[in-house]
Amino acid sequence: MTAPLVKIAALQTVSTPDVGRNLDAAARLIAAAAGQGANLVALPEHFGLMGLRDTDKLVIAETPGDGPIQRFLAAQAREHRLWVVGGTLPMRGRTSERVLNSCCVYAPDGTPAARYDKIHLFRFDNGRESYDEARVLEAGRSPVALCAAGLRVGLSICYDLRFPELYRALGTPPCDLLTVPAAFTFTTGRAHWEVLLRARAIENQCYVLAPAQGGTHESGRRTWGHSMIVDPWGDVLAVRPEGEGVVMAELDLARIAAVRQQLPALSHRCL
């Protein structure tokens, strides 16, 4: 029997400080991907808000299980009958001073299927650019994987990409697909985005779906974009450099099986 093909899509946005405009853009992209036969779509990190200040996240933070962005994602999954990996949204945490950066996944009937809170918080300062997510974000604590569209899907977010031990923790049993919604800066993205995505695909012998913010935002921040789908051999199947759009490819379970049979590296692990 031929292994089924699953159409997956990375949706690239250039989000603004206006949640309404951003949700309209996300709806356009989800509809476009659904029209091309997507079974699973993934939005980028902060798809609902790229604010003028870090603290803007606190203003729109939602309660787990309810809120405008969560209702939007559920409705989109239900309307188009597909799996939605909802990028990230700010979720209320343990204190009022910080929020969790949460990736919520919805099944085709609109029910919530999983939630992952970003574990690794980005900090960078090269003298010209300075970022410190811990000023407003609270770190998550646990890796999360789920079964979606007949696949084992491991969830991660942006800066998590630099920590291979997270993906090893997700790999018992091995994942068919890793999702990496992101808002990489132009500087760090140009240097490391593609090589890290391809490394995670190669070492885990699975597909990687990486939707990204891609362009110059109203705050003046420029994100790298290059939303990408990578196969288990590390080949880039599709990419969009900048601007709003859909990146789509077919995930072939037979391709995963063939790579793992030809080079059984996952079974050779001894540490």
| pLDDT tens-digit readout, 150-184 | 999 999 999 999 999 999 999 999 999 999 999 99
Active-site choice (103, 118, 175, 242): 118
pLDDT at 1 over 90: no
Q: Please state, for a pLDDT cut of 70, what percent of the chain lies above it.
A: 99
Roughly how many angstroms between the first and final C-alpha of the chain, as a whole number? 35
Here the tokens at position 17 are: 């400080």
Domains and CATH numbers, the chain: 5-268 (3.60.110.10)
Identify which of 8, 81, 27, 35 has the alpha carbon closest to the alpha carbon of residue 228.
8
Q: What does the pLDDT look like over 17-72, one tens digit per residue? A: 999 999 999 999 999 999 999 999 999 999 999 999 999 999 999 999 999 999 99
List 45, 62, 242, 244, catalytic entry:
45
Residue 2 binned pLDDT confidence (cut-offs 50, 70, 90): low
Distance (Å, whole) CA 104 – CA 151: 17
Catalytic residue check, 45: yes
Indicate if 57 belongs to the active site.
no
- Inter-CA distances, 68 with 44, 48, 93, 126, 247, Å: 17, 10, 17, 36, 26
Residues whose CB is less than 8 angstroms from the CB of residue 249 and which lie 6 or more positions away in sequence, other chains included: 7, 8, 229, 231, 237, 238
Tokens of residue 72, six digits: 């939007």
- Kindly name the residue from 103, 104, 133, 158 that is annotated as catalytic: 158
Band (230; pLDDT cuts 50, 70, 90): very high
Give the containing element (helix H, strand E) for 195: helix 194-204
Report pLDDT digits (tens) over 77-130. 999 999 999 999 999 998 889 999 999 999 999 999 999 999 999 999 999 999
118: annotated active-site residue: yes
268: CB partners within 8 A, 6+ apart: none
